[in-house]
Amino acid sequence: MSLYERTISFVLNYIEEKKLEEGAKLPTEPELVAMAGVSMVTVRRALAELAAQGVIRREQGRGTFLNRSRVSAETTRLGGLRNGLGLDSSSSLETRLLGLERRDASAEESSRLAIAKAASVWEISRLRLLNGRPMIHEVSVIPMILAPDLGAHLESDPQRSLYATLDAVYGLREIREEQSLVCRRANRLDKKLLGLPKGDWVVQISGISFSARHLPIDSFRIVFDAKGFAFRLSTAPASAMAAVELADS
Amino acid sequence: MSLYERTISFVLNYIEEKKLEEGAKLPTEPELVAMAGVSMVTVRRALAELAAQGVIRREQGRGTFLNRSRVSAETTRLGGLRNGLGLDSSSSLETRLLGLERRDASAEESSRLAIAKAASVWEISRLRLLNGRPMIHEVSVIPMILAPDLGAHLESDPQRSLYATLDAVYGLREIREEQSLVCRRANRLDKKLLGLPKGDWVVQISGISFSARHLPIDSFRIVFDAKGFAFRLSTAPASAMAAVELADS
């Protein structure tokens, strides 16, 4: 390991040992020079790298501060996000129902959901707040024919998981999701809902969930504040996937 | 669908029907107003959204241009990237060996790879170029005890897949990967190797691959030019995963 890499490790260890929390101030550059026993040039390079990685932020004339750590999100776990988010016991997750609309499917949605052109769908828009901070925006589009009075169910209990409701009320249980993840610049809506500064990026996961009968249930789009999340993926052998496909059909 | 969303669809359809390629110029705002039959305000909002999504870019005084499309990368497929990248037949993928070093494992690597502290490892750094453009930087750290003369094998044929070599020469075949994906600002090395402009982001996938005997083979870090890729994820039922675990142990 180079001096530079060792200095990065030194700072990361310091953060962990001192149990620094979000917003905590780090030692000054001269203090780090003395503590790590390396040159000012090396300390500055190491801090620049940690800032580029989003671990710390440097404020002109004020010093260096610890950014909040990322929440790990399980992308290969089915259904509602609550169980798939790696939250500690002190974190709270709140769901706010932003919109619940009955409308005609677009051409693309009809094709994705395998329904007739302009068939009716529910569009459900929700915001997830972690510890009071808006972090995730989810839009779900569900064929009305599968869940005719979904609107009433969701309005009566907005905190209840959409997937739990679909399963309990309509017998629609997800068995598989096809998802696509992109990293892109925040647009106007993301900025407004997630309160992102200019130039920030989001992670967008779009996909379809399927029932045990391979029926598309939900065309979804989930937008995450990119700097707040790490996505865990687990890769299973292709043979297992094939076996599941055969058993279901 | 609102007029605004319909205008976005109109532009996307236009791009597809005219088979526009990367760098192609789109119609001007007044031309789009006439073609789509909507107001200038709506056209401008739709173009701003498409620019935020990275589909197009707008150049002051020059017009609107189509960005290259994203390459889809299969994150739940095991091993080498070549088979997991959704390339058309005209695209070429080239691998450049940047570094091949024999060194001591760091404390973190020893723990991740389940080897003794400061045991010897290979560090292999490679750059992937798509159609001549650097797009992916991969660093693999492999315990030397598993593949003593790996260096000589890789130097004799840099285009050969690392995973194919590990399998053919040392009988190390991946059966599972644990991966974590984050979106972060490009650091100095990313900027240099991938030629990224200031303020751009990268997608970094870090992980460990395991052999059929649950032995960690490879601690890897793969950095992608974020705007160039869409990552496909397929979610399998938890029961299938559990079945594979049991069969292996």
Q: What is the pLDDT of residues B180-222, one digit of tens each?
A: 899 998 988 999 999 998 888 999 999 899 887 788 999 999 9
| Dist. CA B87–CA B74, nearest whole Å | 11
Mark residue B65 as left, alpha or beta (left: phi above 0; alpha: psi -120 to 50; beta: remaining).
beta
pLDDT at A52: 76
Give the pLDDT band (50/70/90) at residue A55.
confident
What is chain A's mean pLDDT, rounded? 85
- Give A226's contacts in chain B (Cβ within 8 Å): 183-184, 201
Contact B227 A75 (CB under 8 A): no
Q: Euclidean distance between the first and final Cα of chain A, in Å?
A: 52
| Dist. CA A238–CA B118, nearest whole Å | 35
Kindly give, in sequence order, each residue whose CB lies less than 8 Å from that of residue A41, ignoring residues fewer than 6 positions away. Answer: none
pLDDT at A43: 93
Contact B201 A226 (CB under 8 A): yes
**How many CB contacts within 8 angstroms connect chain A with chain B?**
164
Q: Is the pLDDT of residue B141 over 80?
A: yes
- Give B177's contacts in chain A (Cβ within 8 Å): 233-235
Give the pLDDT band (50/70/90) at residue A125.
very high
Please name the member of A48, A176, A205 whose beta carbon is closest to the beta carbon of B236: A176
In this predicted model, which residue has the larger pLDDT, A157 or B195?
Answer: B195
Could you report the per-residue pLDDT of A14-50, keeping only the tens digit for each? 988 888 888 899 999 999 999 999 999 999 988 988 8
DSSP letter for B79, please. Answer: S
Structure-token pair, residue B207: 């992980």
Q: Is the pLDDT of residue A115 over 90?
A: yes
pLDDT at B237: 56
User: What are the CB-based long-range contacts (under 8 Å, 24+) for A29-33?
Assistant: A32/A7
Contact A1 B106 (CB under 8 A): yes
Percent of chain B whose pLDDT exceeds 90: 42
pLDDT at A233: 81
**What are residue B138's DSSP bridge partners?**
B126, B222
The torsion angles phi and psi of A94, rounded to 5 degrees, stand at -125, 145
Among B58, B68, B233, most A C-beta atoms within 10 A, so best to mutate, is B233
pLDDT at B81: 66
pLDDT at A4: 83
Residues constituting chain B: 249
Q: Which residue has the tokens 């693999």?
A: B140
What is chain B's mean pLDDT, rounded? 85
Could you report the per-residue pLDDT of B40-52, keeping only the tens digit for each? 999 998 898 888 7
pLDDT mean over B166-177: 88
pLDDT mean over B126-141: 92
Q: Which residue has the tokens 């999701």?
A: A177
Q: Is the pLDDT of residue B245 over 50?
A: no
pLDDT at B120: 97
Could you report the per-residue pLDDT of B33-77, keeping only the tens digit for each? 999 999 999 999 889 888 877 788 888 888 999 987 788 887 776
pLDDT at A34: 95
Question: Among A234, A157, A114, A152, which residue's Cα sits nearest to residue B178?
Answer: A234
> With an 8 Å Cβ cutoff, is B237 touching chain A?
yes
pLDDT at A239: 46
Structure-token pair, residue A61: 């004339």
| Dist. CA B181–CA A70, nearest whole Å | 11
| Dist. CA B227–CA B134, nearest whole Å | 13
Could you report the per-residue pLDDT of A199-225, keeping only the tens digit for each? 889 999 998 998 877 889 999 999 999
Report whether B49 contacts A188 (CB < 8 A). Answer: yes
Q: Is A70 helix (H, G, I), strand (E, B) or coil?
A: coil
Could you report the per-residue pLDDT of A187-197, keeping only the tens digit for each? 889 999 999 98
Residues constituting chain A: 249
pLDDT at A236: 60
Residue in chain B lying closest to A102 (CA): B1
Could you report the per-residue pLDDT of A159-190, keeping only the tens digit for each? 778 888 898 999 998 888 888 899 998 988 99
Contact B226 A201 (CB under 8 A): yes
Task: Show the domains of chain B with their CATH numbers.
Answer: 3-66 (1.10.10.10), 71-248 (3.40.1410.10)
* Amino acid (one-letter) located at A140: S
Contact A49 B243 (CB under 8 A): no
| Dist. CA B67–CA B227, nearest whole Å | 10
ipTM of the complex, rounded to two decimals: 0.78
Q: How far is CA A197 from the centre of its chain?
A: 18
Shortest Cα distance from B146 to chain A (angstroms)? 21
Q: Which residue has the tokens 């691998």?
A: B95
pLDDT at B37: 93
* Amino acid (one-letter) located at A185: R
Report whether A174 contacts A161 (CB < 8 A). Answer: no
Report whether A216 contacts A209 (CB < 8 A). Answer: yes
Please name the member of A175, A182, A207 whose beta carbon is closest to the beta carbon of B237: A175
| Dist. CA B79–CA B209, nearest whole Å | 8
| Dist. CA A159–CA B43, nearest whole Å | 37
> With an 8 Å Cβ cutoff, is B5 touching chain A?
yes
Please name the member of A175, A233, A241 whose beta carbon is closest to the beta carbon of B233: A233
Q: How far is CA A87 from the centre of its chain?
A: 12
Give the pLDDT band (50/70/90) at residue B239.
very low
pLDDT mean over B226-233: 87
pLDDT at A243: 45
